[in-house]
Structure 1
Amino acid sequence: MSISQDASQDGDAFPWDLGVYDAHCHPTDTMASIASIPAMKTTTLTAMATRGEDQKLVQQTAESLNGDEDSTREERIVPAFGWHPWFSHQILDDTQTDSPQQKDAHYTAVLAPSPSEDPEFIKRLPQPKLLSTLIAETRERLKRFPNALVGEVGLDKSFRLPGAWTQQDLDNRDEEITPGSREGRRLSPYKVKIYHQRLVLKAQLQLAGEMQRAVSVHSVQSHGAVLEVLKELWKGHERIVLSRREREKLQDAEGALSEDEEEDENRREKQTTTTNNSKLENAQQPLPFPPRICMHSYSGPIEPIRQFLQKSNPSDVYFSFSAVINFSGLSARKVSDVIKALPAERILIESDLHIAGAQMDQLLEDAARQICEVRGWELREGVQQLADNWRRFVFG
């Protein structure tokens, strides 16, 4: 029995009226489920694109559902456009050379082990898309949707490409599933080299910086690598944070402060960490990093969190959690410690589900209840906090 079912029997009704927001989901992977979204209890779905087959579907879904909604309520869909690391091999970097590689040479270069001795595998792969084309198309979609995110993007060191379709796979294929995903196929030995994943991720993060959009990041066995990419983009833009010793030195140099002066100094201290960021926001040149980042379905340890949340980082980093990935099996105990260690204002919930409807509502309710229990929040207090966090993450 789920947590929400137990709670409802005790009369602890879930406060849908406060607004519940799915920070990361994939409803366009099952287009037949889109019709169920208007009847959902969830206020807004942050719908992710991941590959060539779903970019336009996410756009069309947002246009259709948001256009039909009552103007007095919040949008049903906040779209996110991006290229997932599982499909990053399909992107060819044409930014470093005037002569893009041919298909065979490209896949031989970016996959490990090299598939050079497996020409049939390469033959079945799609013609790669130019990175410049991906960025240009994504930019235009972001312009079309002023609140749209960049996502799902990221790094994944464990993923292996699916193998070829067998006749049995084709015979058993579910026609309601949007093409392009694994769909149960056996995995090949091939992985996308991390240098290439980083290249595709960095270009999309820079676009998010240019457009000042939030980003949803996928990271599997790659939290350190994601942080390295962000640090490269943050370099030279860090927020200025004075240490206690530096503040004491300033006080010694200026002499003893009167009570009024001390109050002024405290106000200046609170403003210090945001001064540099405010200058950045007013800068005419586009920034090379996104203003807000969500590490989706975060499954890592506590230590990387401390690095992501350093006060000098010019991006605000959030962490979202899903019932299926984070609150089941061995992950449940570890995630409790992580959630307890996070600032209350940086926690989000998500379903990460590939089908819209009642199941998505249920997973979001379960995730919210789990987080409230871990944090010791009253249910209404916690759901309100999570709603406020999502609005701040998406809109700034």
Structure 2
Amino acid sequence: MCQHHQTQPDDAQSQHPPVRPVYNDAFPWHLGAFDAHCHPTDTMASLASLATLRTRVLAIMATRSQDQQLVAEVAAEHGITDSLSSLTSTSDTDSARRGCKVVPAFGWHPWFSYQLYDDSIPNPTYSLPSTEDSNTSTEEDAKIAHYKAVLTPSPQDPSFLSSLPTPTPLSSLISSTRQYLTSFPFALVGEIGLDKGFRLPQQRLPDDDSSRDESLTPGGREGRLLSPFRVQMQHQQAIMQAQLRLAGEMGRAVSVHGVQAHGVLYDTIAACWKGHEKKVLSRREKKRIAPGAEESSSSSDDEDSSSENDDSMRSKEKRAKRKIGGKPFPPRICLHSYSGSADMLKQWLHPSVPSTVFVSFSIAVNMSTDGGKAKLESVVRALPDDRILVESDLHMAGDEAEGLLEDMYRLVCEIKGWDLEYGVKTIGANFEKFIYG
């Protein structure tokens, strides 16, 4: 199932070699455009637009305590229940009438990882006294001790420390996420990851409450100034790896955030698949293998290889409902709004990597700085055609997100030298592989 080389296009695609797109061409929404990563539950009112969006599917990320259930509620009403091909329409009108569907993703973003404590270790950072006279003051002391341990530099301001929420045990997050994944058989794990650049927002002052934008889901930055405090990388790694193991256990794909931490991100994920790497044959070993033997042999790592001739929908259902008890790493990974270099991609795409790694791009992130713009073309060109995804990474659904999504589709097609129809079909097939395997 995990192929680490560029797959050849199918017969239908190979008959129409890609050409450079014409930007005056109408965008082929009817072929299926997919947003691989977005956050519309940050602005719940915007979800009313789902009924009329031309985008086929939104992969909606949860990030913190306040939005896990919101994502579940949206998925309960708008979630996909069968194959993506069943959503295909023949015209823009039919697509709009059908409305947009949702793939939910449940996870804890590194920006909020400080709000969790790892209760799987002998001496967790948050620990209440085991006495019968525990009271509010001892709970407050335990909370303060936790934040002093996981934030750097260690905060000393009592007011700032008191403003932070009581930390949640990591085991509780894993338990609730497992329940969400069980309830939604096509759900992903996300958004998870590492971030060296993030700093906690300053505390909200009492006077700020009256001016708070009630349309925004609580828990975000909401325009607050940033404090000097960051989450220690070791703590971020522990929170991420627990979620990676859960994704492996449940056989689910993950959407991964990585900012200013590309090397440590790879090392953190690679630690989960250590000992499960694919064997890479030397040239001499390949010559010893009879022609065609590699293709005819079936690998025990490919759970779905025997289902190639099954009905398409039955095959997808089997993948989505695979039994618990997988590997300690996710089968598929999306590096969302990837901002690393083309050289850094080589390690992710190495033939020994046992996860299938996709890379998604957004106007909001990849085109937001001169450095990002300069890097994008070489990265897109370096990617195999079957590993590219597109996203908006926006905090709301609607026309703006859809416009940004279309712009990135067009940009990827321009860089790759694809016409729009070829590009939209190719990226749509990639999205389907990312979700279903």
Task: Give the TM-score, by structure 2 length.
Answer: 0.81
Residue number in structure 2 paired with 1:77: 102
From the superposition, tell whether residues 67 and 194 of structure 1 become closer, same or farther in structure 2 (CA, over 3 Å): closer
Which stretch shows the higher mean deviation, 337-346 or 219-228? 219-228
Residue number in structure 2 paired with 1:317: 357
SS at match of 1:266: coil
1:301 aligns with 2:356: no
- 1:74-124 C-alpha deviation (Å, 9 max, x unpaired): 770100000000000000110013775221111111000011x21211100
* Partners of 1:197 and 1:172 in 2: CA distance: 32
SS at match of 1:40: coil
Q: 2:421 aligns with which of 380, 386, 389?
A: 380
| Structure-to-structure mapping, 1:16-35, within 5 angstroms | 16-35=29-48
Residue number in structure 1 paired with 2:397: 356
Aligned residue type for 1:334: K
For the 8 Å contact 1:162–1:182, the answer to whether it is kept is yes
Residue number in structure 2 paired with 1:268: 293
Report the Cα offset of residue 229 of structure 1: 1.4
For the 8 Å contact 1:147–1:394, the answer to whether it is kept is yes
* Partners of 2:36 and 2:29 in 1: CA distance: 16
Q: How many residues align?
A: 372
Residue number in structure 2 paired with 1:257: none
SS at match of 1:289: coil
| Structure-to-structure mapping, 1:4-153, within 5 angstroms | 10=24, 12-66=25-79, 73=87, 76-97=101-122, 100-101=126-127, 102-115=142-155, 117-153=156-192
For the 8 Å contact 2:249–2:324, the answer to whether it is kept is no
From the superposition, tell whether residues 280 and 107 of structure 1 become closer, same or farther in structure 2 (CA, over 3 Å): farther
* Partners of 1:67 and 1:344 in 2: CA distance: 25
* Partners of 1:7 and 1:361 in 2: CA distance: 19
Which segments of structure 1 move beyond 4 Å, counting only runs of 4 or more? 279-285
* Partners of 1:19 and 1:280 in 2: CA distance: 25
Aligned residue type for 1:390: F
- 1:13-40 C-alpha deviation (Å, 9 max, x unpaired): 1011111110000000000101111110
In structure 2, the gaps of 5 or more residues are 1-20, 89-99, 128-141, 306-321
- 1:114-150 C-alpha deviation (Å, 9 max, x unpaired): 11x2121110000000000000000000000000000
From the superposition, tell whether residues 137 and 286 of structure 1 become closer, same or farther in structure 2 (CA, over 3 Å): same
Task: Give the TM-score, by structure 1 length.
Answer: 0.89
Report the Cα offset of residue 283 of structure 1: 10
Q: 2:212 aligns with which of 158, 163, 173?
A: 173
Aligned residue type for 1:268: A
* Partners of 1:168 and 1:295 in 2: CA distance: 39
Residue number in structure 1 paired with 2:302: 278
For the 8 Å contact 1:280–1:287, the answer to whether it is kept is no
1:326 aligns with 2:340: no
- 1:331-361 C-alpha deviation (Å, 9 max, x unpaired): 1121110000000000000000001011111
Aligned residue type for 2:417: G
From the superposition, tell whether residues 266 and 119 of structure 1 become closer, same or farther in structure 2 (CA, over 3 Å): farther
Residue number in structure 2 paired with 1:391: 432
* Partners of 2:323 and 2:173 in 1: CA distance: 26
From the superposition, tell whether residues 54 and 209 of structure 1 become closer, same or farther in structure 2 (CA, over 3 Å): same
* Partners of 1:189 and 1:222 in 2: CA distance: 18
Q: Which has the higher contact order (CA 8 A, sep 6+)?
A: 2
For the 8 Å contact 2:79–2:104, the answer to whether it is kept is no
Residue number in structure 2 paired with 1:341: 382
For the 8 Å contact 2:80–2:101, the answer to whether it is kept is no
From the superposition, tell whether residues 379 and 284 of structure 1 become closer, same or farther in structure 2 (CA, over 3 Å): closer
From the superposition, tell whether residues 68 and 81 of structure 1 become closer, same or farther in structure 2 (CA, over 3 Å): closer
* Partners of 1:266 and 1:20 in 2: CA distance: 39
* Partners of 1:328 and 1:67 in 2: CA distance: 31
For the 8 Å contact 1:48–1:80, the answer to whether it is kept is yes
Residue number in structure 2 paired with 1:194: 233
CA RMSD after TM alignment: 2.4
For the 8 Å contact 2:80–2:103, the answer to whether it is kept is no
* Partners of 1:73 and 1:176 in 2: CA distance: 31
For the 8 Å contact 1:169–1:185, the answer to whether it is kept is no
Q: 2:280 aligns with which of 241, 255, 259?
A: 241
Residue number in structure 2 paired with 1:256: none
